[in-house]
Amino acid sequence: QQQVKQSPQSLIVQKGGISIINCAYENTAFDYFPWYQQFPGKGPALLIAIRPDVSEKKEGRFTISFNKSAKQFSLHIMDSQPGDSATYFCAASKGNQGGKLIFGQGTELSVKP
Amino acid sequence: NAGVTQTPKFQVLKTGQSMTLQCAQDMNHEYMSWYRQDPGMGLRLIHYSVGAGITDQGEVPNGYNVSRSTTEDFPLRLLSAAPSQTSVYFCAVRRTGWDEQFFGPGTRLTVL
């Protein structure tokens, strides 16, 4: 049972374009939704995170949009750059279980110059 | 500061062999966990620990054993390796009261 579903599996975007990755969750008890970025041969690193009391969070070129009623959240990468080429994972956890992250399947992003 | 270190980086085992994956941290964070990463499945939690002497199971604990005798170290033991345990293993740490988890560089394990 996949509690967090991520799409697409892979994404190719031209330099300067917008990359959009979507995630849907089932458990309404989840209240922390991070996005992790992973480069080949490295461990995942936190990119940006949101809690359900806000509908959007922006950090530089990265924005999380959150729709609580639809149980969906998405990552938008504006002005995508070749250096953004990586695998992106969404995740979710419950308040008192912040360390027990449930991950999506991952999206391999390739930004073409 | 090294942060989170994992050894070895790569390991090949034969079915039935045992081994221990090491995870060490110098961040003095209370929470440590082990995940495995498989293609198309994201990362899945194996075991975690909220402090020395306390461990609990995650999503996929079968075939793995852990113990936590110090704050710094959280080894993962495979008692009898199986091909299904071929994966990349990540250790992560988190400070109590904070959300962010810091991941180590990973160990790539192949079981033949």
Q: What is the pLDDT of residues B2-11, one digit of tens each?
A: 799 999 999 9
Position A40 pLDDT exceeds 90: yes
Do residue B42 and residue A98 have CB atoms under 8 angstroms apart?
no
How near does any CA of chain B get to the CA of A74, in Å?
A: 16
Strand-pairing partners, residue B44, are B36
How near does any CA of chain B get to the CA of A87, in Å?
A: 10
Q: Which of A9, A31, A101 to mutate to test the interface with B (most CBs of B within 10 A)?
A: A101
Distance CA(B112)–CA(B85), nearest Å, equals 10
Which residues, other chains included, contact B33 with Cβ-Cβ below 8 Å and sequence gap of 6+? A99, A100, B45, B46, B47, B48, B49, B58, B74, B91, B92, B93, B94, B101
Q: What is the pLDDT of residue B99?
A: 84
pLDDT (tens digit per residue) in B56-98: 999 999 999 999 999 999 999 999 999 999 999 999 999 888 8
Nearest Cα residue to B23 out of B68, B55, B82:
B68
pLDDT (tens digit per residue) in B36-55: 999 989 999 999 999 999 99
Q: What is the pLDDT of residue B82?
A: 97
Q: What is the pLDDT of residue A97?
A: 58
Q: What is the pLDDT of residue A100?
A: 87
Task: Please tell me which residue of chain B has the smallest CA distance to A43.
Answer: B105
Sheet holding B4-7, edge to edge: B4-7, B19-25, B76-78, B64-66
| Average pLDDT value for residue range A24-28 | 95
Q: Which residues of B touch A43 (CB under 8 A)?
A: 4, 90, 92, 103-106
Position A94 pLDDT exceeds 90: no
Q: What percent of chain A has pLDDT over 90?
A: 88
Q: Which residues of B touch A105 (CB under 8 A)?
A: 40-42
pLDDT (tens digit per residue) in A44-79: 999 999 999 999 999 999 999 999 999 999 999 999
Q: Which of B32, B43, B66 to mutate to test the interface with A (most CBs of A within 10 A)?
A: B43
Q: Are strands A86-94 and A102-103 parallel, antiparallel or unpaired?
A: antiparallel
Do residue A98 and residue B99 have CB atoms under 8 angstroms apart?
yes
Position A98 pLDDT exceeds 60: no
Do residue B105 and residue A99 have CB atoms under 8 angstroms apart?
no
